[in-house]
């Protein structure tokens, strides 16, 4: 896989095609909008979703944790999509497998139903987080003196080809004072953003991160 390394506030951040950031200096893996449990939630509502959609998200997170062996994992909101369902046991198993890593969840709007249960998994819950030059929150929120990093939006862009074909791609968005991460979960939609000229956009193909 081909990553892209950028420098923000004199800190080196590696953008991974599996829609995560590795903060090298602090050994922190950062991702947002995982939405574990969404497959079983949809099935409960009578919407048929193949198991592979669920399995891929767990496989991707497991791969990233093994690849980077971070000291900490920062999840910028929406770790679990709904009330606890069968997928909770898979999340519990994943947490046990990577017990040596500190998991910190910046609580998102979808975490309310399972908030009290995260403690049982030894996952620290915070409303927002300040570390180094960065301010982490689920919803985009700028804070004076910090570079803000958020999720929630599920940013995407439309790429247009010469033959008028269109392709929607997930992306990392970096503005002058804030960034928005792509949704980590594969069952999430995309909000098509309209970046300004000075903004930096990095799309992910799943195998490569490409700067537009």
Residues with Cβ within 8 Å of 17's Cβ and at least 6 positions away in sequence, in order, are: 1, 2, 3, 204, 205, 206, 207, 208, 209
Instruction: Reply yes or no on whether the pLDDT at 101 is more than 80.
Output: yes
Question: Can you state the angle between helices 51-68 and 87-97, rounded to 10 degrees?
Answer: 10
pLDDT in tens, 6-24: 999 999 999 999 999 999 9
Judge contact between 16 and 7, C-beta under 8 A. Answer: no
Instruction: Reply yes or no on whether the pLDDT at 51 is more than 70.
Output: no
Q: Which CATH number fits domain 4-211: 1.10.1060, 1.10.620, 3.60.21, 3.30.1180?
A: 3.60.21
Task: Mean pLDDT check: name the lowest of 45-49, 60-64, 85-89, 206-210.
Answer: 45-49
What is the dihedral sign for C-alpha 24, 101, 152, 166? positive
Predicted confidence band of residue 82 (pLDDT cuts 50, 70, 90): low
pLDDT of residue 182: 96
Instruction: Reply yes or no on whether the pLDDT at 49 is more than 70.
Output: no
Q: Regarding predicted confidence, which is higher, 9 or 39?
A: 9
pLDDT of residue 10: 93
Nearest to 181 by CA among 12, 25, 9, 13: 13
Domain spans in the chain, listed from the N-terminal domain onward = 4-211
Mean pLDDT of 186-199: 77
pLDDT of residue 26: 96
The encoded tokens of residue 83 equal 């009330």
Instruction: Reply yes or no on whether the pLDDT at 91 is more than 60.
Output: yes
Q: In which element (H, E) is residue 51 found?
A: helix 51-68
Mean pLDDT of 55-74: 93
| Per-residue buried b or exposed e for 69-81, using 16+ beta carbons within 10 Å of the residue's own CB | ebebbbbbbbbbb
Instruction: Reply yes or no on whether the pLDDT at 176 is more than 50.
Output: yes
Instruction: Reply yes or no on whether the pLDDT at 133 is more than 60.
Output: yes
Instruction: Reply yes or no on whether the pLDDT at 64 is more than 80.
Output: yes
Mean pLDDT of 91-118: 84
């Amino acid at each position: 896989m081909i990553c892209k390394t950028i420098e923000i506030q004199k800190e080196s951040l590696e953008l991974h095609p599996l829609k995560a950031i590795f903060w090298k200096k602090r050994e922190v893996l950062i991702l947002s909008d995982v939405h574990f449990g969404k497959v079983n939630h949809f099935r409960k509502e009578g919407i048929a979703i193949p198991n592979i959609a669920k399995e891929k998200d767990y496989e991707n997170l497991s791969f990233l944790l093994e690849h980077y062996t971070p000291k900490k994992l920062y999840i910028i909101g929406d770790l679990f999509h709904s009330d606890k369902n069968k997928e909770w046991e898979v999340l519990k198993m994943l947490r046990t497998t990577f017990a040596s890593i500190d998991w910190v969840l910046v609580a998102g709007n979808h975490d309310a139903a399972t908030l009290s249960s995260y403690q049982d998994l030894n996952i620290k819950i915070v409303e927002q987080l300040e570390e180094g030059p960065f301010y982490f929150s689920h919803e985009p929120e700028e804070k004076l003196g910090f570079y803000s990093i958020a999720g929630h939006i599920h940013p995407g862009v439309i790429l247009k080809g010469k033959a008028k074909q269109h392709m929607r791609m997930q992306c990392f968005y970096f503005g002058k004072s804030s960034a928005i991460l792509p949704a980590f979960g594969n069952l999430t939609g995309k909000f098509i953003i309209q970046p300004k000229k000075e903004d930096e956009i990095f799309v992910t193909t799943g195998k490569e991160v490409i700067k537009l």
